[in-house]
Amino acid sequence: MQGMPNASARPKHGRRNRRRRREDPARNELVSSSLESAQQCLFSQDYGTAFVHYLLVLNLAPEFRDFAKESFRFTLFKWADELDSVGRIQDLFNCYEQALELFPADEVILNSMGEHLFRMGFRDEAAGHFYKALKLKPDYPEARENFYRVANWLVERWHFLMLNDHGRNLKYQQAIQKAVRGGCSTVLDIGTGTGILGMCAKKAGAAEVYACELSKTMYELACEVVTANGMDGAIKILHMKSMEMVVPKDIPHRVSLVVTETVDAGLFGEGIIESLIHAWHHLLLPPQRGETKTREPSETGRVIPAGATVFAMAVECLEIRRHNKLCVEEVGGLSLAEAEHLRSPVSCSPEPDDSMEPYTTERLSRLPGGYTALTEPLTVLHIDFNDVQELEGLTSRQVRRVRLPVVQQGELDALAVWFQLHLDEDSSLSTGPQEDTCWEQAIYPEHCAKGFLLKPGDELVVEVSCKDAYLRLCSVAVLRDGQETRLGKYPDSQNSTSLIPNPEVELCSALASLQTHQNPPKDLCMLECSEMALLNNRDYHRSFAGALSKLIARLKAESQSQEPGLRAEPEPEDLLYVLDVSEGFSLLSLMAASQGEVKAFSSVEKSRQQEVLKRLARANNVPERRLEFWLNHTEDEQGVLQRPSREKLWSAIMLDCVETCGLVRQKLMEKASLARCLLERGGRIFPQRLVVHGMLVESDMLLLESAVQGQEPTLGFNIAPFINQFTVPVHVFLDFSTLACRHLSESVELFVLDLMDAHANYTDREVQVRTTSSGRITAIPFWYHIFLDEEVSVSTLSPHSHWKQAAVVLQQPLDVRAGQPVRLAVKLHNSTISITAAVE
């Protein structure tokens, strides 16, 4: 067995251990026989039984723990993988808990358990295990990389931006201070995060402050922050949802003030409506209304923020368009006419649909290519958080129509939405696209098949609803020259235009006071936004088709030169076999199958997406038998990259090398190593190699998004040292083309990953870069030139790319002069690239 530790060695014992064994011969016999049985089970790959034997040995004879640790770890990991593969999740975690009872300070076991937890979606728990592993061994690279990965999920980058947003923090502090000094002496902070709003209330003089936080990571962080600021015991923090809180079980009585910022870019997406309705009924004192206005503020309840006003405008934006609907008719020589029902899962209608997201989010000011405002911003909703009847009535409100006057000609791509958050009667915050805040805007894409050109003088009719406590905006019609024409949400089988005039339907709808909506076709197929952008990338597919065509033509020529003569239909053994192991939806297998005399295996898993590929194959005259879905024939992850037939090796294997976020995919080099073993002579991995490029930049924005900046405490509170534990060195999902930064050097080649030649690779490299301007190096953005063969490459920095970029953010910015050399140390570990910089 490769990789199995030496299980036949015997430990060396001191005099004390030998004396103890002689005193208990029965125990020694049991330990000896169990240890032997464990080793036999290991050799026969019976990991479950081996694990039980090791548990017995190590519990009976703790002196064996150092000797058996490596073998025990190996057994645990193998047995855990088996339990995982058959879905015995509870047994898996029981095994890890037993292991950690024996080895509570084993960073490798802690890290491995964290990986299982993360894969299963338990991100909070995973973070705790990675963090413990790092505390035990700060230079443990696997735990460090895992912690960085999970930190991006648990402490999202907006936390740093928010804490760096001095104007926002000050306004919240002033509103809370005003309410507390006005008599609101008992306070509940819902979704406390770092605890900053609760601490503001205590500092303002509140007699009692309570806080709740659902995220275990943020709860523990808030506890640390509150303790460090001398408020431990003065603020009670609960690890629970506010809607699970009960008086007097969790807090002794109702409070006079709720403070919260549980709002997302679409205002209601974090559940503020439900949590405030529950708070008014169970946690807050009655509101100050009518007969209660004579009561003291401490006897009535109120909420900060007090309410919000929502604005919307229509925009034209190519970047939004290409991420949400099919914009091309042909890619890589394939007609996409039969792919008309492909679209992103971001779609809004007044009726809730669990398969759809009502909106996505973007920072409009940073969209590559920019955007054009087609209408003036218009108020579409106002909500009073201090009126429980209004909150309760929100979901039952009739669908409301608003008209957005068109002021600029352009194609309707989306509705952009933002809001003004009214903290109290005197102070508010705006999340608008022109504001310099931590907020993004909510984007409601338009899915008309061919788009629709709006003209000045038109009015766009938008329906606004909140049936499931999500804000939903849907463009339904255009008013032009006094006539209303419906916008078709879905293309029909006759490829109708996106404008569907139907006076009879409109008349019936008006008479019956009903809304009419086209139902989605049954074969509607969803792609992720990044998959849709990839599908719309003509350059990428043209490059792939060209490189693949060259390889296949060469292999065909070599085959025919060895066996002259042509057959009308090649035998199966004469076909070239191509395997596509791309993540998600991919056309590469179909492009290969369309070359002729090729049998291609696709990695597409979802049945609807497979049907789309089959339909495209028929439309492009690709025989059905030439395209297979290899994941349909595998029962577990062990089937990855294995041949469905053992008679013939692969002519080409296509690997998905770069994640959309801008990082190299995990275990890429291991997959490439396996793929090389499965290639026929002359076969090739696509891509052949990755060349990493980077640049020195000065960007205050990247610093603000990566850590709490400055030496001054946030509103006088010591928060930075605790939240900055979750600072990660690599910033992902970056649009370098719109990043606010100064270029301090030309682009430079940083690293090469050769997938075809293992001997050409290295694990670290030093690069010298000469600065072109004076300034402060704060980050090193990087991207990839993906070489499909020696001549053909695509860049992840291309304006048509579906990939984003990433950047290493320096912990300590470097001051440099123009012309000064900077030394970069670039390292690769488990497909993770790290960069450090030093001035020479």
The count of other CB atoms within 10 Å of the CB of residue 370 is 14
**What is the mean pLDDT of the segment spanning 695-712?**
90
- 269-308 pLDDT per residue, tens: 999 999 999 999 999 999 876 655 566 777 899 999 999 9
CA 105 remoteness from chain centre: 31
Q: Is the pLDDT of residue 199 over 70?
A: yes
CA 262 remoteness from chain centre: 20
Band (64; pLDDT cuts 50, 70, 90):
confident
**What is the mean pLDDT of the segment spanning 785-796?**
95
Q: Is the pLDDT of residue 507 over 80?
A: no
CA angle centred on 793, ends 789 and 794, rounded to 5°: 145
Predicted pLDDT of residue 425: 94
Phi, psi of 238 (to 5 degrees): -110, 135
In 3D space, the residue among 734, 752, 735, 743 whose CA is nearest the CA of residue 692 turns out to be: 752
Alpha-carbon span 535 to 447, nearest angstrom = 16
- 257-270 pLDDT per residue, tens: 999 999 999 999 99
Q: What are the Cα distances from residue 422, in Å, to 425, 572, 616?
A: 7, 70, 52
pTM equals: 0.84
Query: Are the beta carbons of 416 and 441 closer than 8 angstroms?
Result: yes
Q: Is the pLDDT of residue 84 over 50?
A: yes
Q: What is the DSSP letter of 827?
A: E
Band (505; pLDDT cuts 50, 70, 90):
very low
Q: Is the pLDDT of residue 573 over 80?
A: no
Three-class SS of residue 840?
A: coil
Predicted pLDDT of residue 817: 97
**What is the mean pLDDT of the segment spanning 754-778?**
94
Which of 105-119, 322-336, 440-454 shows the lowest per-residue confidence on average (mean pLDDT)?
A: 440-454
- 119-128 pLDDT per residue, tens: 888 888 888 8
Using the structure block, give the residue that is written with the tokens 């902070």.
189
Radius of gyration of the chain, Cα coordinates, nearest whole angstrom: 31
Predicted pLDDT of residue 27: 80
Three-class SS of residue 21?
A: helix
**What is the mean pLDDT of the segment spanning 577-581?**
94
Predicted pLDDT of residue 449: 61
Which of 26-35, 407-416, 650-659 shows the lowest per-residue confidence on average (mean pLDDT)?
A: 26-35
Tokens of 380: 């579409």
**What is the mean pLDDT of the segment spanning 342-356?**
76
**What is the mean pLDDT of the segment spanning 804-813?**
93
- 221-239 pLDDT per residue, tens: 999 999 999 999 999 999 9
Predicted pLDDT of residue 9: 43
In 3D space, the residue among 392, 127, 362 whose CA is nearest the CA of residue 264 turns out to be: 362
Alpha-carbon span 454 to 677, nearest angstrom = 56
Omega cis (within 30) before 62: no
Alpha-carbon span 378 to 403, nearest angstrom = 8
Predicted pLDDT of residue 663: 92
Predicted pLDDT of residue 317: 96
- 383-407 pLDDT per residue, tens: 999 999 999 999 888 899 999 999 9
Predicted pLDDT of residue 423: 97
What's the CA dihedral at 270, 274, 275, 281 to 10 degrees?
Answer: 170
Q: Which of 220-229, 348-357, 549-558 has the highest mean pLDDT?
A: 220-229
Three-class SS of residue 580?
A: strand
Q: Is the pLDDT of residue 499 over 80?
A: no
Phi, psi of 691 (to 5 degrees): -115, 120
Tokens of 773: 């301007």
Phi, psi of 8 (to 5 degrees): -95, -10
Residues 6+ apart with CB under 8 A from 90: none
- 603-642 pLDDT per residue, tens: 998 888 999 999 999 999 999 899 999 766 554 444 445 5
Q: Is the pLDDT of residue 18 over 80?
A: no
Phi, psi of 375 (to 5 degrees): -130, 165
DSSP assignment of 121-187 equals T-HHHHHHHHHHHHHH-TT-HHHHHHHHHHHHHHS-THHHHHHH-HHHHHHHHHHHHHHHHTT--EE
**Full 3-state SS string of 34-47:** HHHHHHHHHHCCCH
Which of 4-8, 251-255, 366-370 shows the lowest per-residue confidence on average (mean pLDDT)?
A: 4-8
Phi, psi of 477 (to 5 degrees): -160, 165
Predicted pLDDT of residue 488: 65
Query: Are the beta carbons of 590 and 580 closer than 8 angstroms?
Result: no
**What is the mean pLDDT of the segment spanning 144-154?**
80
Query: Are the beta carbons of 443 and 360 closer than 8 angstroms?
Result: yes
Q: Is the pLDDT of residue 496 over 60?
A: no
In 3D space, the residue among 382, 375, 456, 381 whose CA is nearest the CA of residue 414 turns out to be: 375
**Mean of the per-residue pLDDT values for the chain?**
86
Instruction: Characterize the bridge pairing of strands 208-212 and 186-190.
Output: parallel
Alpha-carbon span 628 to 356, nearest angstrom = 29
Predicted pLDDT of residue 1: 37
Q: Which neighbouring-strand residues pair with 209?
A: 187, 235
Give just the sign of the alpha carbon dihedral 227, 230, 232, 237: negative
Band (352; pLDDT cuts 50, 70, 90):
low
**What is the mean pLDDT of the segment spanning 549-559?**
87
Helix (H) or strand (E) holding 101: helix 89-102
Q: Is the pLDDT of residue 489 over 60?
A: no
| Exposure b/e, 530-539, CB count within 10 A at least 16 = b | bbbbbbbbee
Q: Is the pLDDT of residue 703 over 60?
A: yes
Using the structure block, give the residue that is written with the tokens 């766009």.
460
Omega cis (within 30) before 305: yes
Alpha-carbon span 113 to 77, nearest angstrom = 9
